[in-house]
Structure 1
Amino acid sequence: MKRVVITGLGAVTPLGNNVEEFWQNSVKGISGAGLITHFDTEKFKVNFACEIKDFDPKAHLSHNEIKRSDLFTQYALYASAEAIQDSGLELEKMDPFDTGVIWGTGQGGMWTFESEVMNFAAGDGTPRFNPFFVPKFIANMASGMISMKYGLQGINYTTVSACATGNTALMDAFNYIRLGKAKVIVSGGSEAAISPASIGGFSIMKAMSTRNDDFATASRPYDAERDGFVMGEGAGALILEEYEHAKARGAKIYAELAGAAMTADAYHMTAPHPEGAGAIKAMQLAVKEAGANMEDIDYINPHATSTPLGDLIELKAINNAFKGNKNLDISATKSMTGHLLGAAGAVEAILSIKAIQNGIIPPTINLHSIDNNIPQDINIVFGEAKEKEINFALSNAFGFGGHNATVVFKKFS
């Protein structure tokens, strides 16, 4: 099997509209939460989220690209532009069939779908839909538009596995390159789900925090008083490249993607398996594929959305899978970014890679009183970032439908 390395990163997140700003604010423990500005929340039970701030698509997108794309695609194009520039790839000199795009999204063009259907419903029944209605909302359009922008004619498709999506996209890209079916793949995920239907839908499920009077601390994984997740939005883009190809062009290498695995709980539509069986197996398989032992993992960026049930079950699975690993540190960065759904795995992969590169673990913030059900021997980095040499970082992403996806990054050598 061929080795796969990361040679470019790009991000647009609630903590910054480029990777460096995103990383620095994560290390500082900044909350990305604020009152929702995308729509009027007066009649909603939740009126806050982790929105993108000061987003100007014109920095990386043309007028036609903006006009013809939903916000989730704009985020994807924006983050991909940074990642491709960061990689130093000279795409015009490559065989276009050697480079592909495997992208992910949980909901696709939700804003476009909502607005077009609501406009139709408010009318006289005459179907006056925008000619770009369907192309803008279908989930695969982000991967399609990235390929069109850069002339990438290799493998191209979109993965959808709810909140596990970002990791499944990375896993697929990893495997295609290992098998020799591509030399470079632009991969990651994007989501623009701070919309009336998404906020209303997750709210009625009682999945979201309703801490409207204290929104800055509402995303509080592992806290005894956590009451649900905070919606986030944005995109994370990674350039995955076959090692020999990267070496030949003298590329900067951030880290190696060494292992990835996916399992299914086969248990419930929205609840995780009570024993975390699928999560345990995904972590074990990914670590084994990375050529490592469970004792070798230095840092885990967990799924940890700040839900009462999910946080504890994931920690239970981690405690079971990593028994004896006293060197393991965990930090839940959704406490700062909120939950980016299909983009979560991608942005957390970026933080895991930056943690390896810089020897710094971003903190879990908003942990005021730790849940008494959390085992005392689990090391959670909270309050402030922690300096630590990291050779192996593992990142989890789990989704409705019982999807468990784990990726393992290794310090490049």
Structure 2
Amino acid sequence: MKRVVITSAGAVTPVGLNTQTLWESIVQGRHGFAPITSFDASRLEVKCAAEIKDWDPAAMGLNKKEARRMDRYTQFAMAAAKELMEHAGDLSGIDPFRAGVIVGSGIGGFDTTVSEHAKFMEKGPDRVSVFLVPMMISNMAAGQIAIEYGFKGDNFSIVTACSTGGNCIGEAYRKIKHGYLDLVIAGGAEAAINEFAIAGFQNMNTLTKSTDCDRLSIPFDKERSGFVMGEGAGLVLLEEYEHAKRRGARVIAEVAGYGATDDAHHITGPSPDGEGAGHAMINAMAEAGIAPGQVGYINAHGTSTPLNEKCETAAVKYAFGDHAYHLAVSSTKSMTGHMLGAAGGVEAIITAFALKDGILPPTAGYRVPDEDCDLDYVTEGARKADIQYAISNSMGFGGHNASLLLKKFEG
């Protein structure tokens, strides 16, 4: 089996438009929550989100003409891919048919769907854009990245709601581990902050209606009341270790294991006993051949909903037993909000940097303990810790669970 490492990353988030700014914001506990500005939210009960403000694709280096033919989520993915490629080192000698792209979106081109449907209703079918279909479909970010950089290997999009980014990275890891590809751009992108999408999530009672920006997304806090919608993209370059070494690539972290399960319980709610998510973590550790006691940190799914954190805490206990009380768990959605299909990609990047720099991200905004959530949630701010293994968890509607086990790179 091949070793798989992360050799580059790219991010577009509400707390930074590149990986370095993202990581600095996370370490500082700086959130991206504010009143919604991209549309008039007066008809909604939800008034706040984690938007990417004043988005300008041209300022991110994207071609203006081509960007107009992309949905916002694809623009985010292309900007993240551009950063990733700029920091990847010399890729001129790669075999393009052994270079893949596995990038997904939980919802796809939602903004395009909404705007073009409005045009259809107001002006008729002849006014619908000829680019509607390629802009709205969930696989187009993966397709556009491959076209831009000439990656001709496996190219597809996994759609597992909020587990999308994690599953894309996990399946890319397996493609390399088992020898099918040498390198893969993997992760997720999402742009669903519009009135229609917010209304749908709001009416499910999953979004917080609070307007206190410092207490909007407060995972594991007893006063949590729902998640905050975020947007953006998070991509990593996964590479076979010997391939990376031959071309002199830098290594951020190693991917050591991956677990994917389903709760088979409910379309939106996690299993109360934590069995499904717990088994995803158990499977990731089993693939890496490590004991639970070797894991020092978990980047939790941690959405700030009343049900999720109770169930995820149960899942950690299910997977780790007594060691659950001796490892750190935090949710960086306390700063980025919930980026849906992009969350797993962004959180994998954060987890990789936590290993590399020896800093555990905090759960920002936490104040009130919850008796159902009794683990160490890194509530005092970022913490220095030299750990060897960390897990990034993602969970999605439909019961999907994805756990990525990362290892500090040691050569």
TM-score range, shorter chain: over 0.9
**Residue matched to 1:228:** 226
Aligned match of 1:383: 380
Alignment deviations for residues 210-234 of structure 1 (CA, whole Å, 9 cap, x no partner): 002x133210011111110000000
The reply to whether residue 12 of structure 1 matches residue 12 of structure 2 is yes
**Residues 1:84 and 2:85 are matched in the alignment:** yes
2:318 match: 320
Shift of 1:47: 1.4
- Cα distance, 1:390 vs structure 2: 1.5
| Aligned-pair CA distance for 1:54 | 4.1
Letter in 2 for 1:97: F
Shift of 1:60: 2.4
Q: In structure 2, what is the Cα distance between the partners aligned to 1:291 and 1:82?
A: 33
- Counting only pairs closer than 5 Å after superposition, residues 162-177 of structure 1 correspond to structure 2 as 162-177=161-176
Structure 2 CA distance for aligned equivalents of residues 311 and 60 of structure 1: 39
What runs of 5+ residues in structure 1 fail to find an aligned partner?
A: none
Inter-partner Cα distance in structure 2 for 1:374 and 1:130? 49
Q: What's the % identity of the aligned pairs?
A: 46
| 1:12-411 alignment runs, 5 A limit | 12-58=12-58, 59-90=60-91, 92-123=92-123, 125-212=124-211, 214-325=212-323, 326-375=325-374, 378-411=375-408
What amino acid sits opposite 2:258 in the alignment? A
- Equivalenced residue count is 408
* Distance in 1 of aligned mates of 2:386 and 2:380: 19
Displacement after TM superposition at 1:337 (Å): 0.4
Residue 93 of structure 1 and its aligned partner are, at CA, apart by 2.7
Matches of 1:322 and 1:12, distance apart in 2: 33
* 1:181 shift after superposition: 1.0
TM-score by length of 1: 0.97
TM-score (norm 2): 0.97
Contact in 2 for aligned 1:209/1:230 (Cα 8 Å): yes
Q: Distance in 1 between matches of 2:42 and 2:131?
A: 30
Partner Cα separation in structure 2 for residue 188 and residue 288 of structure 1: 23
Q: Cα offset for 1:89?
A: 3.4
Q: Structure 2 counterpart of 1:280, which letter?
A: G
Offset from partner CA, 1:272-326 (integer Å, 9 cap, x none):
1111111111010001111211110000000010000111010011022212325
Q: What secondary structure sits across from 2:326 in the alignment?
A: coil
SS at match of 2:186: strand
Kept in 1: contact 2:50–2:228 (CA 8 A)? yes
> For the residues of structure 2 that align with 1:372 and 1:258, how far apart are their CA atoms?
33
What is the alpha-carbon distance in structure 2 between the residues aligned to residue 350 and residue 234 of structure 1?
13
Q: Determine helix, strand or coil for the equivalent of 1:240.
A: strand
Q: Cα deviation per residue 1:384-409 (whole Å; 9 max; x = unaligned)?
A: 10000021010100000010110000
Name which of structure 1's ranges 226-235 and 47-56 shifts more when overlaid on structure 2. 47-56
The answer to whether the 8 A contact 2:105-2:159 is kept is yes
- 1:354-399 CA-to-partner distances (Å, cap 9, x unmatched) read 0001100111011111112223xx2110131000002101010000
Q: CA deviation at 1:87?
A: 1.4
**1:236-263 superposed Cα distances (whole Å, 9 cap, x missing partner):** 0100001110011111011110100100
RMSD: 1.1
Q: Which amino acid aligns with 2:73?
A: F
